[in-house]
Each structure stands twice: as structure tokens, then as C-alpha cells.
Amino acid sequence: QVQLVESGGGLVQPGGSLRLSCAASRSISSFWRMGWYRQAPGAQRELVAIVTSGGRTNYADSVKGRFTISGDNAKNTVYLQMNSLKPEDTAVYYCNAHIGFDFWGQGTQVTVSS
């Protein structure tokens, strides 16, 4: 069983920044890929960013140039640096780890509001 624990969410003003962390209970290099997804009220969960075990990244068009996903193998942690935040980024953000099947964290709330 894999545990993923997110942290770093909160309330931020438009234009601000947050960094989300996802601590895994095992080596992140053991996963095929890890990523961040988000779900806004009344909406479906959507992909935000992923990073493969080979270091390739992919981003949703809506966050390209603003968000950066990265990993620290020594800390078994994946990060999502979010800059230039907009109100439409408000959502619960979930960490995902994939190794043929998916593991999910409990989610962390990000609210962008003035």
C-alpha cells in the first residue's frame, strides 16, 4: 500500500504563489509517473501536471508557464510550484502516483481570492 500526503494549500490572493508538496511512503522513482490533479466544485477532476520516472513533464494548457512540477528522490516528495495564481485555479488539489494502477492523496484546498 502507498500513502501520499499533500500539504501546502491555503488561501492566496490573485497573482500570488503557493508550493504544494506530496510526500510518498516509498521511493517516487518506483512509480511510472506522478502528478497533480485538481477538482473544482461541480467540476470533474482534471490533470494539472505530471512527471514521469524519466523526468518528462506535461502540463494542462491552463497552467503552462505558471506551474512547475518537480521531484526530490531523496525526500520521496513531489512538488507543484504555482505562480501567478488566478481565481480559476481554486480547487482541491490531489497528488497521484501511477504504477499500473493509481494511488491518490487526500487532497489539499487551494483558494485564490482577494
Calpha distance 21→33 (Å, rounded): 16
Q: From its phi and psi, is residue 28 left (phi > 0), alpha (psi between -120 and 50) or beta?
A: alpha
- Give 110's strand partners: 10, 91
Cell of residue 23, nine digits? 510526500
| pLDDT of amino acid 1 | 84
For 2-35, how does the pLDDT look when each residue is reduced to its tens digit (9 = 90+)?
A: 999 999 999 999 999 999 999 999 999 899 999 9
For 47-75, how does the pLDDT look when each residue is reduced to its tens digit (9 = 90+)?
A: 999 999 999 999 999 999 999 999 999 99
